[in-house]
Amino acid sequence: MDRLKLLIDTDPGVDDALAILMAHAYADVLALNIAAGNVGLGHTVQNALKLVETIGARTPVFAGCAAPLIAGADDAAFVHGADGFGDTGYTPSACRAADEHAVQALLRLSHAHAGRLVLVAIAPLTNLALALTLDPSLPQRVARLVIMGGAVTGRGNTHRVPAEFNIGFDPEAAHVVFSTWPHFTLVDWEATMRHGIAFETMERWLTVDDPRARFYAAISRKTREWTRMRGRPRLMVADALAMAVALHPDIVVDAQDHHVAIELSGALTRGATVVDWEDRFGKPANARIVLTVDHARFETLVAAALGTAVG
Ligand code: RIB
Ligand code: CA
């Protein structure tokens, strides 16, 4: 059977890197479209190029927008390191990003692979919002959109308590996507917390004699230390969870379809994902909210992408 054709919009980022490793292990990755988010665009582009070089892939990297649509936002360097990849001081890749802007590349590839492209958005939605503004017909050519973002009952991971990072970093972009894309799959922060990976499990996978395990061990060290220091019981790998759902939709055990909107102005709630759980808005459901996946299958997918022999 043909492998899925993925386009990944990403802000690498340590958990982005794990998702990208999974994508390359199981699918055809047409492009990495790079956003600013976890850290600035200069770093996220270099990180994507380094990851592609490390795994010997030929995946094109396209730089996207360097800032949110409207207002600036804090990055997540405190989680991922100042460079977004654990501040390992790696030798920059000899490769360069393509000259084409990520938004143009997305629109071009959506025509070239019309009806088959699976779009995985694991970053702030700035690039996707601009693509939709340039060409509102984009959703007609995309087979599936999977978004990592939001906190569906308000337990977010930013200083605006109900907001999750990807949505909170560019709420206007998220509003454009959530209010125009007919139907997408949403993997939120709360599902991520339900599907954390035990430290010991991850550390076992990272001892395997595989370049991917070695690379991920290095770039994730700071994030793993920070997570333990923060008192979290497990490692949160949000983007890897979203990628697992994109690669294997049947991994989802429990999901609900509801209308989800983005709060843009609340002093305490800007960037919140507001879910119409009782369907009171009278609007069609725009999101399939993933609540639970088969956790054993999820861990197997992650382990194999890091070089652990499974099965
Ligand atoms: O809230 C988690 C999301 O924000 C992930 O995509 C992570 O990489 C950060 O971008
Ligand atoms: Ca990300």
The DSSP code sequence of 229-272 is: HTT-SSB--HHHHHHHHHH-GGGEEEEEEE-EEE--S-TTTTTB
Whether 112 has a pLDDT exceeding 90, the answer reads yes
Q: Domain for residue 310, yes or no? A: no
CA distances from 151 to 54, 188, 190, 271 (A): 33, 5, 6, 10
pLDDT band for position 179 (50/70/90)?
very high
pLDDT tens figures, 33-45: 999 999 999 999 9
pLDDT band for position 71 (50/70/90)?
confident
Question: For residue 166, which atom of ligand 1 is closest to its CA?
Answer: 4
The DSSP code sequence of 93-142 is: PS---BSS-HHHHHHHHHHHTTTTEEEEEES-SHHHHHHHHH-TTHHHHE
| CATH number of residue 189's parent domain | 3.90.245.10
Query: Structural domain of residue 153, as residue ranges?
Result: 5-305
Rounded distance from Cα 76 to ligand 1 centre (Å):
8
Tokens 């909170």 appear where? Answer: 168
pLDDT band for position 175 (50/70/90)?
very high
Whether 1 has a pLDDT exceeding 90, the answer reads no
Counting ligand 1 atoms within 8 A of each CB, the residue from 11, 51, 146 with the most, and so the one to mutate, is 11
Q: Domain for residue 162, yes or no? A: yes
Exposure on the CB side of residue 144, measured as CA atoms within 13 A: 17
DSSP one-letter code for 185: E
Q: Find the mean pLDDT for residues 63-76.
A: 93
Q: What pLDDT is attached to residue 309?
A: 85
Q: Measured from the CB, is residue 190 less than 6 Å from ligand 1?
A: no
Q: What is the mean pLDDT of the chain?
A: 97
Q: Residue with the nearest Cα to atom 1 of ligand 1?
A: 165
| Number of residues that make up the chain | 311
Q: Measured from the CB, is residue 220 less than 6 Å from ligand 1?
A: no
pLDDT band for position 5 (50/70/90)?
very high
Q: Domain for residue 311, yes or no? A: no
Rounded distance from Cα 281 to ligand 1 centre (Å):
29
Rounded distance from Cα 68 to ligand 1 centre (Å):
15
Ion ligand 2, residue ranges at CB < 5 A: 11, 13, 16, 122-123, 239
Residue 27 or 2, more confident: 27
CA 114 – CA 31 distance, rounded (Å): 15
Tokens of 273: 């994902």
Q: Measured from the CB, is residue 165 less than 6 Å from ligand 1?
A: yes
Q: Find the mean pLDDT for residues 165-189.
A: 98
Q: Find the mean pLDDT for residues 228-242.
A: 95
Whether 311 has a pLDDT exceeding 80, the answer reads no
Q: Domain for residue 31, yes or no? A: yes
pLDDT tens figures, 118-128: 999 999 999 99
C-alpha 205 chain-centroid distance: 21
Point out which residues pair with 184 in neighbouring strands: 287
Rounded distance from Cα 280 to ligand 2 centre (Å):
32
Q: What pLDDT is attached to residue 44?
A: 98
Q: What pLDDT is attached to residue 36?
A: 97
Q: What pLDDT is attached to residue 310?
A: 80
Q: Domain for residue 101, yes or no? A: yes
Rounded distance from Cα 20 to ligand 1 centre (Å):
13
CA-nearest of 149, 110, 120, 79 to 244 is 120
Helix axis angle, 126-134 to 171-180, nearest 10°: 50
Q: Measured from the CB, is residue 38 less than 6 Å from ligand 1?
A: yes
Please say whether the dihedral angle defined by the alpha carbons of residues 110, 113, 119 and 124, taken in this order, is positive or negative. Answer: negative
CA 132 – CA 171 distance, rounded (Å): 15
Rounded distance from Cα 123 to ligand 2 centre (Å):
4
Query: What is the pTM for the complete model shown?
Result: 0.98
Q: Measured from the CB, is residue 9 less than 6 Å from ligand 1?
A: no
With a CB cutoff of 8 Å and minimum separation 6, the contacts of 137 are: none
Exposure on the CB side of residue 223, measured as CA atoms within 13 A: 30
Number of domain units in the chain? 1
Q: Measured from the CB, is residue 166 less than 6 Å from ligand 1?
A: yes
Q: Domain for residue 250, yes or no? A: yes
